[in-house]
Amino acid sequence: MLSTIRDKATGWIAWVVVFLISIPFALWGVNSYFEGQANPPVAKINGEEIGADVYKRALENQRRARRQAANGKVDLSILDSPQFRLRVLNGIVQRNLLVQDAEDQGYRISDDQLNDLIQRTNQFQRDGKFASDLYKLALRSAGYTPSGYEDSLRQDNMLQQIQNGFTQSVISTKKELARLVRLQNQKRAFSYALITAKSIAGKFTPTEKDVKAAYESNTSQYRIPEQVQVSYVSLSVNELAKKIKVTEEQLRQAYIDNAARYVEPEQRRARQIFIKIDTKADNTAAVADAEAKAGKLIKQIEGGADFAKLAKARSEDPLTANKGGDLGYLRSGVLETVFDDALFALKQGEVSKPIRSSFGIHIIKLVGIKKEKKKPLKDVRAELEYEIQRKLAEAQFLEQAEQLNDLSYEQPESLQAVVDGLGLTLKKSAWFSRRGGTGIAAQPQVVEAAFSDEVLADRQNSEAIEIGSDTLVVLRIDGHRESKLKPLAEVKNAIIAHLRSVRARAEISKLGEQLVARLKSGADWNEVLGQNKLSAKQTKPLARDDRSFVKPSILGKVFKMPRPGPKAPTYAGIALGNESYALIRFTKVVEVDPDKVDKDTVASAKAILQTRGGIEYFAGYQKGLRDQADIVIHEDNL
């Protein structure tokens, strides 16, 4: 289609087209031609329109999240279905209702708070510091402008405040808490026996007719999927960085610019005698008492008393007293300013006057000094070289990304112009289907592009595809294989194995259900097992989330069974996924006393109740907003 348009858009036809489209431009201007088309509303919420640009970005983000969650193995048709699109739009509507209500209630995130959130985001940092270029590159990869991202982040934090408010307002009663503690910590003892294929007499052999019928009724399972092979070029920061030669001058300048990073500041080893001030007592009296104690200790030190022994005997700091008050080596700025100033004003072996901090009174002795040490350039050369290469490569990447887009678009029927213009290497993928493959085909974005109409049907270059934040790929189809049915002979053995497995599971489940019915009717457990040559395993009492038990489906079934009586076990069965069936004899429930469990267990249960309650309250709040809102959905624009 696109190639046909390009072929015909030359000569007199092109001039006629230009003349016709120039009329509306001349009469009303370019903007009027596109007005109402570029960003049509997809919904109106209480009079506020939601543009298609917001919807499309949310749709792409949801698709990307689904592909990543499924490790790329997702049916692309699902992500393009009307149901999926409407679900994304509903999420946008709900978010906007929340934002509108939050703003009406006066929730706000200040510019300083927003700036702090952005600067503390690891993705935007280099060497622990905010890097503006990484910030812009990351936003570009996600399809955001800085203002758009900042608005979204502001809204996210505003909504988090609301949700936290619901969670924190939940009040759980003592009865509710006790019930949950009992349920969470309840244990159950049981026996189980496994019925396997060995319990089934004879071996089922499917007939030729059975095999053919299974083949013909399940052709979708025996098809070789449609496959493509692509040629592609990739532009990446890493590859660009490898080609950059760093000069000695650049290294020396970077070393000077980053001098502070390579200086290990002076450290001082200190001992202290700490006297705590009782904040619950009268402040004046408490301070006076502490100062008096400190004065006596100073006199003892001045009289020649051993500081370490005195600290061990008299210091009220439980963490350091037994070590003679040893605080180890400290850098400036680690402790409170008053302590810091006093320590770094001392000379080797000198003892400070009593120092008052927010904790109490300290007497400090300086017992060691590690002088400031600067790493030489030779020790940090590799690190600096890598950083310079990355920084220069990122600048090149941004510049060449535009060239990549231009060259691949201007000559859409070949990648040679891109190869020649940017010095990239043309590569070829292995064959892969719509479910992806190996290498470059493991990237969901690549698979989606390869099977798009523009690339597959029109045989044009793809748009530049972003792989992470620092790699772009442009591809084109190199080969295409239609889906085809495998011959019966090729899949016959697999069909026979499948039919045998299905029959075995059915027979095992049938026998298991019969035995469970006998046990529930009063048959003896040991007698039933003996007649069917089964052996049972007895478990110790297990909690519902006990990971030491290797068959979680059996454990889950046990916790759904009714309680047994003192001498009346309850019975059940469950089909397992590996051609087996479990008979279960549930014998005992072990309860805990909620008043005797540890504080952490109670706190965990309380947190669960708060979270559950908060979710329920928040869901009710969201429903209320939606019920009262004036919402118009423009499904034609989705």
Percent of the chain beyond pLDDT 70? 91
Q: What confidence tens digit (pLDDT) does each residue in 458-500 have?
A: 999 999 998 877 899 999 999 999 999 999 999 999 999 899 8
State the SS3 of 543-606. ECCCCCCCCHHHHHHHCCCCCCECCECEEEEEEECCCEEEEEEEEEEECCCHHHCCHHHHHHHH
pLDDT value of position 367: 93
Q: 274 in helix, strand or coil?
A: strand
Cα–Cα distance between 100 and 158 in angstroms, integer?
11
- Looking at the DSSP bridge assignments, the partners of residue 364 are 272
Concatenate the DSSP letters of all residues of 44-113 into one string: EETTEEEEHHHHHHHHHHHHHHHHHHTTT---TTGGGSHHHHHHHHHHHHHHHHHHHHHHHHT----HHH
SS3 content of the chain, % helix, strand, coil (to 5): 55, 20, 25
| pLDDT score recorded for residue 71 | 65
Q: Is the pLDDT of residue 123 over 90?
A: no
Helix (DSSP H) and strand (DSSP E) numbers for the chain: 22, 22
Distance CA 215, CA 209 (A): 10
Position 615 pLDDT exceeds 90: no
pLDDT tens-digit map of 300-317: 999 999 999 999 999 998
Kindly report the pTM of this predicted structure.
0.53
Quote the distance between the C-alpha of residue 21 and its chain's center: 48
Q: Longest C-alpha distance within the chain, in Å?
A: 109
* 354 phi, psi to nearest 5 deg: -60, 130
DSSP codes of every residue in 498-541: HHHHHHHHHHHHHHHHHHHHHHHTT--HHHHHHHTT--EEEPPP
Are the beta carbons of 460 and 450 closer than 8 angstroms?
A: no
Residue 246 φ/ψ, nearest 5 degrees:
-90, 130
pLDDT of residue 53: 84
pLDDT tens readout for residues 31-76: 433 344 567 888 899 988 988 888 888 888 888 777 777 665 666 6
Distance separating alpha carbons of residues 504 and 203, to the nearest angstrom: 9
Token pair of 525, please?
A: 């457990």
Tell whether the model's pLDDT for residue 18 goes beyond 80. Answer: no
pLDDT in tens, 313-370: 999 988 899 999 999 999 888 788 899 999 999 999 999 999 998 889 999 999 999 9
What pLDDT is stored for residue 38 in this prediction? 60
pLDDT of residue 75: 66
* CA–CA distance, 140 with 148 (Å, rounded to integer): 11
Per-residue pLDDT of 519-533, as tens digits, reads 999 999 999 999 999
Q: What is the pLDDT of residue 269?
A: 94
CA-based R_g, the chain, Å: 36
pLDDT tops 70 at residue 518? yes
pLDDT greater than 70 at residue 537: yes
Residue 543: φ, ψ to 5°? -80, 160
Confidence (pLDDT) at 282: 60
Q: Which residue in this structure is represented by tokens 């294989």?
A: 481
Q: Which residue has the higher pLDDT, 286 or 454?
A: 454
